[in-house]
Structure 1
């Protein structure tokens, strides 16, 4: 057991905790709860071979408790004509914020980009999430004001 917090790739046995954290994340962002079968869906995306479609990093305390996660996947930019790493989620439980784990997660996400040969990470955060905005600004990230849309595809 380590004496310092750690960030590592998620393992299948982390899925129940990641699912709990995803539900906390959705509640925090006042969004609908995740799908009831989220653990299974994530298992398919994270642990299928030969190449997983999603990457998940978890932040754990020295006692092994997982208190946060970041997920990311390569995406394409038409305007740049290249791939970048899209960070879909970064979330820490409320009592773990301000502990330095967010910076460790971001370091791990940028390392994922580097390992994939990508030179940029992009993400979104709600305009009302002032704590996250201050954190990302301290990292030196640039922001662009846009609205995010979603459209359900009719069956």
Structure 2
């Protein structure tokens, strides 16, 4: 995927590099706090390194929004998933997050454009994601992009009782 460049200041969205992991982990922790979730478990950088850059084909893709000075202002992660109803694959965008100071400057649309390009490169017809129902700013952003929403409740259950 080629880098997606912004307007003034020329912010760039690109695939994360191994050197980006410390900042990506910081952004993930900020994202968890923003969503009122538990902080990431220790060792996240190592687990992400394996998923993104390990010897196996990448199971997770991470796109980062880099400001002109090189500072990472946000990230989006995505991975191919399967739909039973469609009998086909799609790209699941697991996370999209911008540091608070970087919101409203056009980086969100750049990240989404990069995720769309990733889906096209993988030959996948669509992207799906979720956002908390209380996150009105994200909902307005996704609505402005023309995305369709479907209400569902997300559940998690440990694999062991």
TM over 0.5: yes
Normalising by structure 2, report the TM-score: 0.93
**Which residue in 1 is equivalent to 2:12?**
6
Q: Is 1:27 equivalent to 2:33 in the alignment?
A: yes
Cα distance in 2 for residues equivalent to 1:23 and 1:58: 15
**Which residue in 1 is equivalent to 2:143?**
137
SS of the residue corresponding to residue 72 of structure 1 reads strand
Shift of 1:50: 4.2
**Which residue in 2 is equivalent to 1:121?**
127
Shift of 1:35: 1.1
Normalising by structure 1, report the TM-score: 0.97
| 4+ runs deviating over 4 angstroms | none
Q: How many pairs were matched up?
A: 154
Report 1:90-129 matches (<5 A).
Answer: 90-129=96-135
**Which residue in 2 is equivalent to 1:38?**
44
Instruction: Pick the aligned partner of 1:66 from 72, 88, 92.
Output: 72
SS of the residue corresponding to residue 21 of structure 1 reads helix
Answer with 120-129 or 47-56: which moved more.
47-56
Cα distance in 2 for residues equivalent to 1:81 and 1:154: 29
Unaligned runs of at least 5 residues, structure 1:
none
| CA RMSD across the alignment | 1.1
Cα distance in 2 for residues equivalent to 1:50 and 1:145: 35
Cα distance in 2 for residues equivalent to 1:85 and 1:30: 25
